[in-house]
């Protein structure tokens, strides 16, 4: 029994776990439901790693030297096994012998790598949650949600049929909605979950339209077949570009790219493990994954340039806004938006494998950073970095693991982000020098805000948060809430001393730190671009010998060090000094007023047609219904006189009836 044949259990097990926890989660004693869910994910992780192992054995082998030399035709040294990429197929919706929409599990190298990533990240996030969510009122429900989300994400990655991708995609959206609003008594959480759901749902329309259009053109949803010459001929360049663009809109929504980025910051209202899992490591990366799967269509009509431009602008935009925030989770959320922008930039400039490398690396180090922030919040009882008191001293495990994640994020060698980000930047330099500059600038800001966060939270004593009382942060205008409706985040109680988190949480942090380092090396030129050659499909020209990349490596490192150095210089001296003009800080903290603009303008725009619809509903549809009732009233008020209640009248009717029958019969 190979792992490939068992692969359908990978999404199925957490789905069953969800069913069990949803139905009987309350009967587990204490933290039992958490341990149960973690055990399920452990089995899934073993299955995924086994699957990855099988795939590595079956995948074609490439001669690295020939690849690096640009001789792509001669590079194949070991053809893939004949049944690779693996495919498991069941019939589904086959009505009266028609093909229906087959249920397909399609496992190529990319699917196997991402599946392993999702399973491992999910496992450690589950483990972390056991301690983090302890004492929460709906503890089993939380794990039930996490399980169903994992099931949907794994199903999405393994689906060989875009129709099932769409189904899993929507389930992920639902779980994101439910988990953002997990603390449903908070007004801000309610608003945030609606905002996230509506924004992504709007974008999902693009996925559906693109998919159904595609179905009209080629008559199937098959993922593996999408790029075949016959299909591309049937689709045509114009339609291919349009479908690609529609799908990219959905990816922008899910991956929070400008201008659909607005929901991700507020998604931080969910518990921190949720932010780590859904809004950093997995679901938001699903947009990038989907775009990668639709790559054959994106090559037409300049759609790739749109992808690259959106990605680069988002990367810079988010990295610029991040330093203005004091909430550790919001800083990390901006960072996620920015890093997802990098991935789209990579896809857009033909750095397909580099973008996938960054996706996997980012998933690990960002999950690590978010869990680290969860540990910080747990220990310091605040989310505000200014109110955290020298956490380096109080929480050494958290500090060192967080530092690993932060160095990876900044792109300091030899950590993961350095290898992946530089490959993306290199691809950008080749194909779009301007976007390369934007990417470098974003890297500078990335290092800046990361260092600022570490210095203030871990090294500095607690101080009064500078903007908590600021007029522009009162209430939550970005959630359309007034000062009375949204309360500021609580400060730690007086006399609170930070403390290190429990064993489960530390274990999860250390494991993710190790994984993020390992993945970085796996994709680095030191180990022969292992991850990139694995997902290599024989048409990507982005691999270069390390010596040729040296300028890029040096530039990237210098830029990152410059950003980190500036932040260190400024914030270790006086964190509270107001360095930007006040109006700029206010604008950045209000997210450049984009969210409020959406609420006002788009809200008003949406109101206008609803007014028309409301009028139609009230006067036309309701009017018709009322008319039916009124008609029957009038008729019955006339006919009621027939019912005299007098016996003789009825006898007379009977006589009339008999006569009518007689006359009728005689004729």
Partner 1 sequence: MVTLGHFLLFSGLLMAVGLYGVLTRRNLIAVLMSVEILLNAAALAFASAAAFREPHLFAGQIFALFIIVVAAAELSIGFAILLNVYRTHGAVTDDAISEMRG
Name the site residues for partner 1 (rule: CB under 8 A): 639-648, 651-652, 655
Least distance between partner 1 and beta carbon 609 (Å): 47
Whether 598 contacts 591, CB under 8 Å: no
Give the residue among 306, 175, 149 at the shortest CA–CA distance from 241: 306
Looking at the Cβ atoms of 569 and 652, the one nearer to partner 1 is: 652
Whole-angstrom distance, CA of residue 398 vs CA of residue 273? 15
Least distance between partner 1 and beta carbon 144 (Å): 59
Looking at the Cβ atoms of 230 and 636, the one nearer to partner 1 is: 636
Least distance between partner 1 and beta carbon 628 (Å): 21
Looking at the Cβ atoms of 91 and 631, the one nearer to partner 1 is: 631
Least distance between partner 1 and beta carbon 660 (Å): 15
Q: How many CB atoms are closer than 10 A to CB 572?
A: 14
Looking at the Cβ atoms of 550 and 635, the one nearer to partner 1 is: 635
Q: At what angle do helices 416-431 and 433-454 cross, to 10 degrees?
A: 160
Looking at the Cβ atoms of 577 and 641, the one nearer to partner 1 is: 641
Whole-angstrom distance, CA of residue 336 vs CA of residue 312? 13
Whole-angstrom distance, CA of residue 268 vs CA of residue 262? 12
Whole-angstrom distance, CA of residue 69 vs CA of residue 72? 8
Least distance between partner 1 and beta carbon 625 (Å): 25
Looking at the Cβ atoms of 95 and 639, the one nearer to partner 1 is: 639
Question: For the chain, how many residues are written?
Answer: 667
Looking at the Cβ atoms of 96 and 640, the one nearer to partner 1 is: 640
Residue with tokens 């999404």: 11
Paired with 107 in beta bridges are 86
Least distance between partner 1 and beta carbon 630 (Å): 19
Give the SS3 label for residue 62: strand
Give the SS3 label for residue 489: coil
Looking at the Cβ atoms of 583 and 647, the one nearer to partner 1 is: 647
Looking at the Cβ atoms of 630 and 653, the one nearer to partner 1 is: 653
Q: How many CB atoms are closer than 10 A to CB 58?
A: 19
Give the CA-trace dihedral at 29, 35, 36, 42, to 10 degrees: -170
Residue with tokens 């210089």: 569
Least distance between partner 1 and beta carbon 626 (Å): 23
CA 596 to each of CA 266, 476, 592, 613: distance values in angstroms, whole numbers, following the listed order: 13, 10, 9, 25
Looking at the Cβ atoms of 2 and 644, the one nearer to partner 1 is: 644
Residue with tokens 């589950």: 126
Least distance between partner 1 and beta carbon 666 (Å): 16
Whole-angstrom distance, CA of residue 469 vs CA of residue 472? 9
Least distance between partner 1 and beta carbon 610 (Å): 45
Tally DSSP H helices, then E strands, for the chain: 28, 4
Least distance between partner 1 and beta carbon 629 (Å): 18
**Residue 645 φ then ψ, to 5°:** 80, -5
Least distance between partner 1 and beta carbon 649 (Å): 9
Provide the b/e sequence for 152-177 (b: ≥16 CB within 10 Å). bbbbbbbbbbbbbbbebbbbbbebbb
Least distance between partner 1 and beta carbon 645 (Å): 3
Least distance between partner 1 and beta carbon 650 (Å): 10
Whole-angstrom distance, CA of residue 301 vs CA of residue 248? 13
Least distance between partner 1 and beta carbon 636 (Å): 8
Looking at the Cβ atoms of 91 and 644, the one nearer to partner 1 is: 644
Looking at the Cβ atoms of 611 and 643, the one nearer to partner 1 is: 643
Whole-angstrom distance, CA of residue 395 vs CA of residue 373? 11
Whole-angstrom distance, CA of residue 233 vs CA of residue 237? 8
Looking at the Cβ atoms of 592 and 654, the one nearer to partner 1 is: 654
Looking at the Cβ atoms of 612 and 639, the one nearer to partner 1 is: 639
Which helix H or strand E contains 103, and what residues bound it? strand 103-107
Identify the DSSP state of 83.
T
Least distance between partner 1 and beta carbon 641 (Å): 7
Q: How many CB atoms are closer than 10 A to CB 400?
A: 14
Q: What is the bridge-based pairing of β-strands 86-90 and 103-107?
A: antiparallel
81-90: Cβ within 8 A, 24+ apart: 81/57, 83/58, 84/55, 84/58, 84/59, 84/60, 84/108, 85/109, 85/111, 85/224, 86/4, 86/7, 86/54, 86/55, 86/58, 87/160, 87/224, 88/4, 88/5, 88/7, 88/8, 89/160
CA 352 to each of CA 202, 305, 426, 439: distance values in angstroms, whole numbers, following the listed order: 27, 14, 12, 16
Whole-angstrom distance, CA of residue 136 vs CA of residue 140? 9
Least distance between partner 1 and beta carbon 642 (Å): 7
Whole-angstrom distance, CA of residue 58 vs CA of residue 86? 9
Looking at the Cβ atoms of 608 and 639, the one nearer to partner 1 is: 639
Looking at the Cβ atoms of 592 and 661, the one nearer to partner 1 is: 661
């Amino acid at each position: 029994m190979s792992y490939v044949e068992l692969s359908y259990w990978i999404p199925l097990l957490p789905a069953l776990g969800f069913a069990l926890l949803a139905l009987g989660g309350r009967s587990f004693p204490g933290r039992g439901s958490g341990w149960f869910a973690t055990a399920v994910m452990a089995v899934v992780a073993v299955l995924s790693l086994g699957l990855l192992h099988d795939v590595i054995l079956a995948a074609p082998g490439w001669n690295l030297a020939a690849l690096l030399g640009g001789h792509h035709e001669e590079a194949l040294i070991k053809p893939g096994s004949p049944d690779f990429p693996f495919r498991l197929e069941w019939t589904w919706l086959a009505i009266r012998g028609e093909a229906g929409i087959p249920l397909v599990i399609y496992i190529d190298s990319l699917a196997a790598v991402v599946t392993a990533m999702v399973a491992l990240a999910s496992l450690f996030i589950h483990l972390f949650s056991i301690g983090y969510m302890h004492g929460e009122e709906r503890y089993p429900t939380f794990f039930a949600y996490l399980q169903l989300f994992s099931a949907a994400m794994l199903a999405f990655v393994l689906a060989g049929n875009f129709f099932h991708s769409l189904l899993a995609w929507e389930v992920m959206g639902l779980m994101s909605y439910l988990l953002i609003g997990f603390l449903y008594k908070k007004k801000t959480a309610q608003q945030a979950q609606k905002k996230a759901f509506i924004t992504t749902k709007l974008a999902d329309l693009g996925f559906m339209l693109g998919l159904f259009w595609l179905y009209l053109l080629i008559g199937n949803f098959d993922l593996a077949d999408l790029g075949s010459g016959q299909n591309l001929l049937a689709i045509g360049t114009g339609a291919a570009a349009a479908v690609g663009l529609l799908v990219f809109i959905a990816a922008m929504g899910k991956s929070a790219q400008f201008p659909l980025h607005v929901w991700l910051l507020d998604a931080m209202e969910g518990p921190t493990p949720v932010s780590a899992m859904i809004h950093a490591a997995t679901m938001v990366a699903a947009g990038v994954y989907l775009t990668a799967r639709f790559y054959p269509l994106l090559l037409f009509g300049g759609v790739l340039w749109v992808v690259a431009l959106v990605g680069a602008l988002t990367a810079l935009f988010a990295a610029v806004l991040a330093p203005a925030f004091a909430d550790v989770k919001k800083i990390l959320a901006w960072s996620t938006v920015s890093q997802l922008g990098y991935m789209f930039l990579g896809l857009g400039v033909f750095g397909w494998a580099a973008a996938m490398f960054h996706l996997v690396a980012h998933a690990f180090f960002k999950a690590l950073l978010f869990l680290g922030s969860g540990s910080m919040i747990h220990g310091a009882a605040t989310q505000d970095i200014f109110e955290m008191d020298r956490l380096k001293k109080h929480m050494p495990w958290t500090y060192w693991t967080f530092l690993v994640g932060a160095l990876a994020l900044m792109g300091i060698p030899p950590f993961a982000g350095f290898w992946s980000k530089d490959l993306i930047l290199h691809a950008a330099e080749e194909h779009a020098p301007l976007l390369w500059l934007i990417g470098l600038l974003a890297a500078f800001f990335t290092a800046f805000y990361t260092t600022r966060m570490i210095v203030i939270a871990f090294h500095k004593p607690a101080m009064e948060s500078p903007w908590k009382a600021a007029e522009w942060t009162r209430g939550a205008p970005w959630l359309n809430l007034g000062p009375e409706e949204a309360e500021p985040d609580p400060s730690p109680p007086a006399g609170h001393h930070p403390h290190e988190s429990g064993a489960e949480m530390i274990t999860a942090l250390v494991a993710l730190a190790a994984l993020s380092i390992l993945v970085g090396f796996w994709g680095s030129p030191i180990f022969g671009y292992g991850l990139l050659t694995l997902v290599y499909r024989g048409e990507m020209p982005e691999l270069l010998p390390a010596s040729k990349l040296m300028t890029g490596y040096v530039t990237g490192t210098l830029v990152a060090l410059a950003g980190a150095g500036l932040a260190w210089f400024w914030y270790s001296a006086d964190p509270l000094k107001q360095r930007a003009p006040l109006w700029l800080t206010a604008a950045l903290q209000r997210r450049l007023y984009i969210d409020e603009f959406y609420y006002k303008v788009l809200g008003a725009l949406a109101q206008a047609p609803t007014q028309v619809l409301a009028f139609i509903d009230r006067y036309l549809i309701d009017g018709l219904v009322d008319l039916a009732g009124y008609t029957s009233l009038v008729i019955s008020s006339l006919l009621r006189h027939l019912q005299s209640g007098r016996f003789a009248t009825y006898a007379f009717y009977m006589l009339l009836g008999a006569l009518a029958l007689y006359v009728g019969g005689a004729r």
